[in-house]
Structure 1
């Protein structure tokens, strides 16, 4: 797939209210990212099983790596860091352990430590797609779009099957109004992770920005069917209702989004508009 430059400006955004909603696409979901670190689940039972493995083989770095991933999925970040530190001390040549620790640092707001760990992972394995994808997210959230795009392009050139590479490149294109390219990338992310709502939400916003309400509405409804507990999906659905002039349905969907996330600003603002 050829590289495409990032244009400047927000040409192509058809609805002013899309701007705050598109901005909310810039966040990343810890549960989704952690699931890519390792297949280990964050349940107490699974953590207990991994702890038993460590008791039997206390010098096995991968056991700490796996339990660290499980702690990460459970939101127990300090314990995850300790396990990844131990895994690295036992095997300082493991790019996976550095990338895993970087992810936890990022969720704790330690961006410089995360960046250092991703750099180390890439120096150990220049073909490690996960590290490029993780580092790109730090760049993207810091506004370093060109650096983020370069890392995502590198991961895609390495034939990654990680949907985050396409989803996040889609966000970069979306933010600069390049919606046809964004839609293409979101579609690829959907093909790689059809059971996740995020690609549908991203593609729906780009459809809506192009005036394609029907496809946008279909994508938002699909996102809700896949996971009814994502506030963004309900707020996006409400945006279509609002654009159609159905304030009652829009208010209902915005209200549902706020029930799921009381701090979700686009839903709060949307509910104020539709109830005014």
Structure 2
């Protein structure tokens, strides 16, 4: 197995840390899939007007507002849903996402805890609370929540991808690869697990599989700065400074504050 030069190990470690601690904006507004069906807000409003005591209708419209980034209206709808049905555990978990998006982690934690008190087998709440813990750097708590969801036979790919990020952060790359692979099997069109698995392959010196996965991630979404940096790392390792520079430059264009991109550019200029 080829050894990775020291500067690549340092760079890859920095990327792994960034991947593990960064907040995925999509995760903040991604509402429980079972309760947050897409729909036209106007038509959902009409449903509510026809039946103003329908807690589910408020919950679904709150989900739609959350996806649209209108957190104040989403919060109002979830509050109404919970007033109509105080045991609506899905609405608690959905409202927790809104609180997370607003930066009120204490309120989000309370809502996740309330959802799990009502339904201790609700995998979505474990995953959501785990994401909140992971973003706060409480990796052991996050790992335990992802594990609980997995023990409940969740089919949500986030549980495996995000547990894989913690394995990756701990340097347990074989376990991370298994989790990323499971996440991919559950959602083959999601780009981030490919990128994450590629990084673990790279850490283990498996350049070919790493390159394949990272390119797959970019094929699915060309706007992932981290994936461009990872591609640049491999080109740099191969001595192709031109392609490495192009990859780092693309990453820097997408995210000018992404330090691994700037570091890569400084090395290959």
Normalising by structure 1, what TM-score? 0.89
CA contact 1:51–1:67 (8 Å) conserved in 2: yes
Aligned length: 261
**Which residue is 2:37 aligned to?**
40
Note if 1:239 corresponds to 2:194. Answer: no
Residue 113 (str. 1) matches residue 110 (str. 2): no
Task: Kindly provide the CA deviation profile for residues 66-103 of structure 1, in whole angstroms up to 9, marking residues without a partner as x.
Answer: 11111111222222111111111111101100000111
Query: Could you say if the C-alpha distance between residues 34 and 161 of structure 1 is closer, same or farther in structure 2, counting changes exceeding 3 Å?
Result: farther
Displacement after TM superposition at 1:32 (Å): 4.6
The RMSD of aligned alpha carbons is 1.9
Gap change, CA 1:179 and 1:108, over 3 Å in 2? same
Matches within 5 A, 1:156-171: 156-171=150-165
Aligned to 2:195: 201
Query: What pairs up with 1:1-276 in 2 under 5 angstroms?
Result: 15-26=9-20, 27-32=22-27, 34-38=29-33, 39-41=36-38, 46-275=40-269
CA shift for structure 1 position 274: 2.1
C-alpha displacement at 1:33, in angstroms? 5.6
Which secondary structure does the structure 2 equivalent of 1:25 belong to? helix
Provide the C-alpha distance between the structure 2 equivalents of 1:221 and 1:134, rounded to a whole number of angstroms. 29
Separation in structure 1 between the aligned mates of residue 112 and residue 60 of structure 2, nearest angstrom: 18
In structure 2, C-alpha distance between the alignment counterparts of 1:154 and 1:252, rounded to whole Å: 42
Q: Distance in 1 between matches of 2:99 and 2:202?
A: 35
Stretch moving more, 101-110 or 190-199: 101-110
**Correspondence for 1:9:** none
Question: Structure 1 residues 72 and 57 mapped into 2: Cα distance closer, same or farther (>3 Å)?
Answer: same
Unaligned regions of 5+ residues in structure 1, if any?
1-12
Quote the Cα distance in structure 1 between the aligned partners of 2:268 and 2:64: 42
Q: Which runs of 5+ in 2 are unaligned?
A: 1-6
Task: Sort the Cα spacing of 1:161 and 1:36 in 2 relative to 1 into closer, same or farther, 3 A.
Answer: farther
1:36 Cα deviation (Å)?
Answer: 5.0
Q: In the alignment, is the contact (CA less than 8 A) between 2:191 and 2:220 conserved in 1? A: yes
Which string of whole-angstrom CA distances, capped at 9 and with x for unpartnered residues, describes residues 148-200 of structure 1? 11111111010000001001110111001000000000000000111001110
Aligned-partner SS, 2:154: coil
Q: Is the 8 A contact 2:127 2:145 kept in 1?
A: yes
* 1:248 to 1:145, Cα distance in 2 relative to 1, 3 A: same
CA–CA distance in structure 1, aligned partners of residues 140 and 215 of structure 2: 32
